[in-house]
Amino acid sequence: MKKIVLSTLVVLGLTGAAFAQEATDFVAVDTDASNAVSFEEAQVAWPDLTVEAFAAADTDGNGELSAEEYGLLASAAPAAM
């Protein structure tokens, strides 16, 4: 009986983690389909994103991330936040 309960809890825990994950690819994050990601859009994908980390990825300084700049942010996301 303990094995069944433990197995069920593990499966439910893993299922919850899968549902909690959000898509973080450029197209999914660019919700207004402007072909650029704003700070607000990026913050939906990474709630802990700082203005400084966003600005560091915004290499042309236009206040939005192109797909290339977004790739910089996405690759550095765990360390930058």
For residue 12, the 8-state DSSP code is: H
Chain segment 37-79, per-residue pLDDT in tens = 999 999 998 899 999 999 999 999 999 999 999 998 888 765 4
> DSSP 3-state assignment of 30?
coil
Instruction: Give the DSSP per-residue string, 41-58.
Output: HHHHH-TT--HHHHHHH-
Residue spans of beta strands (DSSP E) within the chain: none
Rounded to two decimals, the pTM is 0.67
CA–CA distance from 33 to each of 22, 27, 54, 67 (Å)? 17, 7, 19, 12
Confidence check: pLDDT of 16 > 50: no
Domains with residue ranges and CATH for the chain: 23-80 (1.10.238.10)
